[in-house]
């Protein structure tokens, strides 16, 4: 049992290091931090406005997220060497499109579920690419 714990600890450390190395492999100094902050603010606001069934505010937040994800995809396609970031941006667009579709149907429960998927997708990309300091 003790050996198993050691191996799991080692595996966790290696996983953490590989994540930080993924970021170190690409220069993000020219990335538009302002648009990413806008998307982060929209992500934080989206859940509460969906809970309040405020379709107009939720749609505005979802469209902000959608636009920044499109910009992010284009950035990483042009940058090259970040296929996983391109894929995550595309997956995020699929989930935020589901939010927009659900809002259009006034299906706030489905929109909230899709919004949670969108936020998880953002965190996945941040795990690989968000700089700790900049």
**What pLDDT does 54 receive?**
97
**What pLDDT does 86 receive?**
93
* 84: nearest Cα among 128, 47, 122: 128
Domains of the chain: 2-129 (1.20.120)
Number of neighbours of residue 59 by Cβ within 10 angstroms:
17
Lowest mean pLDDT among 2-6, 18-22, 109-113: 18-22
Kindly state the percentage of the chain with pLDDT values over 70.
78
Within 8 A by CB and 6+ apart from 49, the residues are 57, 58, 61
Could you tell me which residue, 49 or 7, shows the higher pLDDT?
49
Lowest mean pLDDT among 9-23, 43-57, 117-131: 9-23
Quote the crossing angle between the two packed helices 108-129 and 33-51, to the nearest 10°: 150
- DSSP reduced 3-state for 132: coil
Assign 27 a pLDDT band (cuts: 50, 70, 90).
confident
Within 8 A by CB and 6+ apart from 111, the residues are 50, 58, 98, 99, 102, 103
């Amino acid at each position: 049992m003790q050996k198993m714990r050691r191996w799991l600890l080692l595996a966790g450390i290696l996983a953490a290091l590989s994540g930080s190395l993924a970021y170190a492999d690409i220069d993000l100094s020219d990335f538009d931090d302002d648009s990413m902050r806008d998307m982060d603010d929209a992500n934080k606001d989206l859940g509460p406005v969906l809970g309040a069934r405020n379709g107009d505010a939720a749609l505005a937040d979802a469209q902000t997220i959608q636009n920044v994800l499109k910009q992010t995809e284009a950035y990483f396609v042009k940058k090259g060497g970040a296929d996983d970031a391109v894929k995550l941006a595309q997956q995020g667009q699929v989930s935020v499109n589901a939010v927009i579709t659900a809002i259009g149907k006034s299906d706030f429960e489905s929109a909230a579920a899709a919004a949670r998927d969108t936020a998880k997708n953002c965190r996945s990309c941040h795990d690989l690419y968000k700089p700790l300091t900049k």
